[in-house]
Amino acid sequence: MIKKVKIKKFDGRDFYDIEDYVAVEETYKIFINGELVKSLPISPNFLYEFAVGFAISEGFLGKVDKVKIDKNNLYIFGENTNKEIKHKKPKIDVETLKNIISYEIKAKYWEITGGFHWASLFDLNGKQIIFIEDIGRHNAVDKVIGYAILNNYNLNDLILRYSGRIPSEIVKKAINSGLNVIISKSPPTDKAIELAKEHDILLIGFARTGKFNIYAGRLWEG
């Protein structure tokens, strides 16, 4: 995930030779049912979870049957069911949202290097299910989605909180996987808002302790 490199540090007056930590980046080729679909730079952790999450959230497959990892090649096999994912409106209130937003995220690798994004899933009671860091925010989202699928969680009942701005690609991942709620400390784009409204996704940005903006969707009113 990280490694030491030798650098020259300038403190405003002088240069110093020191060692610093940087993120490890590996490029992986992704094959779906034998066909190369993409090459991506990915942090070399949770690769099995990434493969499952990527195939589902990108809409390539509706069900993953097998994943094979061979060096820097990810082979994913499964069925494209063409079945539309049903989105059941989650029962989530303001207090639960406040608890999730206030939950202290301990992003170890980001704190060391400043070079990582992270994603986390919470249940409807505000309990954290999984937390993963990656050099790419899309990768981190795919990894937590894959984790949830492999561990038999219903994604309809989980809430995504992650570290980046919210582009339309992240909303598409939510739609394809069954997630209903996206939370970030950063804002969404206009296309993300349009897509979230179209699919009734609860889209929350500028989420800081005790405060947030709702750009699409609505809270459960009991």
Q: What CATH number did the domain enclosing 140 receive?
A: 3.40.140.10
Contacts 24+ apart (CB under 8 A), 100-104: 100/126, 100/159, 100/161, 100/183, 101/161, 101/183, 101/207, 101/208, 101/209, 101/210, 101/212, 102/209, 102/210, 103/128, 103/161
Residue 24 forms part of a structural domain: no
> Which pLDDT value is given to residue 209?
82
Low-confidence ranges of the chain (pLDDT < 50): 222
User: Based on the structure, what is the number of domains in the chain?
Assistant: 1
pLDDT at 165: 93
* pLDDT for 222: 47
**Inside any domain, residue 109:** yes
Its domain, for residue 101, covers 94-216
Q: Is residue 49 in a domain? A: no
Asked, for residue 135, whether it belongs to a domain, the answer is: yes
